[in-house]
Structure 1
Amino acid sequence: MLECLAPMLLSQKPAELLNIELHKVSWGEFRMRLTQIPDIEVFEVRKIKQYQQILFYNKKVLARRLINPISQEFLQQINYPPSSSLEDYLEQLIEKIRFRNFPHEVGLFLGYPLKDVLGFMGLAPLPFVKTQGWRVYGDERLSDEWFEKYQLARRLMNKAIFERWLSI
């Protein structure tokens, strides 16, 4: 799980949405340890059978992402209130996840390039190019750059875990 969360924990990605199989994880202890890390928040979204869907996010990175004027314009276009707080944006997103069709704008919160979110939602006339962690639309260079940044964070986390394991 730490590998999946690495880009968010290392401030490279604003958030991660995971389905965790509860009987395989000591969730209470893991949650407590995560929330001791500055700026890391955990929100239990919903339970789906034996899984708990959890939104992990870095408050500073996500706030910076959502306060961007282009992000603000996009969110207003899809009926998020203007100039909302981070908490208001998250509350609306979580409500959509729980009670409506899955909101495709979640990609913005998860750190996907906005062009790819717009392409996926059909709000920009960009051709589908490939899938690499998310669906890429239009010019793939920015998406590749972001994907590689996230992969590097995962490799760094794996290395740190392995080195810690060797020192035991």
Structure 2
Amino acid sequence: MDGDLNKKLETNFKECLKCILKNIGATVVGVKPAELRTIKSYNGNYNIWDKCKTRILSYKEIDLIEVNKEKDRKKILFYHKSVLDEQLSNLEAINFLVELGYPKEYDLKTYLDFLVARLKEYNFGKRDFPHEIGIFLGYPLKDVLGFMGYSDLECTCKQEWKIYGDKDSSLLQKKRFDLARDYFNRKLEQII
């Protein structure tokens, strides 16, 4: 009986890991700076997630933050350290984030902590959703500004995010994310 249970749990672990990796593949390969995902528990138990987390953190450049935990799910911010650092250290991004209350001195950990605090405040109903997360997720700044109402650009397209103004550069970014996901998922099928 224990053998059957262990086999079932191992199967669930592999399925869970594969599902998570498929969703964060563009981040794992270093094309998309971050992903915010929801992880469900397995019958109220997070042991499978804990095993998946250990495996995911074996990727040198990948880190994660458990943003919140509800009764049967967790919200997780997965990020590629160097790619997110490059994304956020852009002077235009820093200037905008400072306008929103982020510290003037840029530091990746400090900015992540600030975003996560805002996400937690949102979860407790203390503030609106921090839409600046789009910058962390790799969306073009013009689209984040447009979505938040800080730009006169019109919404010209809806994809993974709303695109404002000239859509060419945004669609190119979307294509980069999709190609990276596809590439990673093909490799994943060969390994798992």
TM-score normalised by the chain length of structure 2: 0.82
Structure 2 spans left out of the alignment, 5+ residues: 1-19, 122-126
Q: Over aligned residues, Cα RMSD in angstroms?
A: 1.3
AA matched with 1:150:
F
- Equivalence for 1:150: 177
SS at match of 1:23: coil
Q: Please state how far the C-alpha of 1:119 moved relative to its aligned partner.
A: 0.3
Amino acid paired to 1:50: D
Does residue 126 (structure 1) correspond to residue 153 (structure 2)? The answer is yes
How far apart are 1:160 and its partner, in Å?
Answer: 1.0
Could you give the per-residue CA deviations for residues 107-161 of structure 1, whole angstroms, max 9, x where no partner exists? 0001101010000000011101121111111110011000000000111122112
Residues paired across the two proteins, number: 165
Select the structure of larger CA radius of gyration: 2
C-alpha distance in 2, partners of 1:131/1:27? Answer: 32
The 5 Å alignment of 1:50-65 reads 50-65=72-87
- In the aligned structure 2, how far is the partner of 1:124 from the partner of 1:49? 39
Name which of 31, 38, 51 aligns with 1:12: 31
Regions of 4+ moved over 6 Å:
none
**Distance in 2 between the 1:5 and 1:21 partners?**
16
Q: CA deviation at 1:164?
A: 2.9
Q: Work out the CA distance in 2 between the residues paired with 1:123 and 1:10.
A: 32
The sequence identity of aligned pairs, in percent, is 38
Q: Does 1:71 align with 2:80?
A: no
Q: Cα offset for 1:39?
A: 1.7
Work out which of the residue numbers 145, 159, 166 in structure 1 matches 2:186: 159
Give me the TM-score of the superposition, normalised by structure 1: 0.93
Cα offset, 1:82, TM superposition: 0.7
Q: Deviations over 1:21-60 (max 9, x none)?
A: 1217721111001111112111100023411000000110
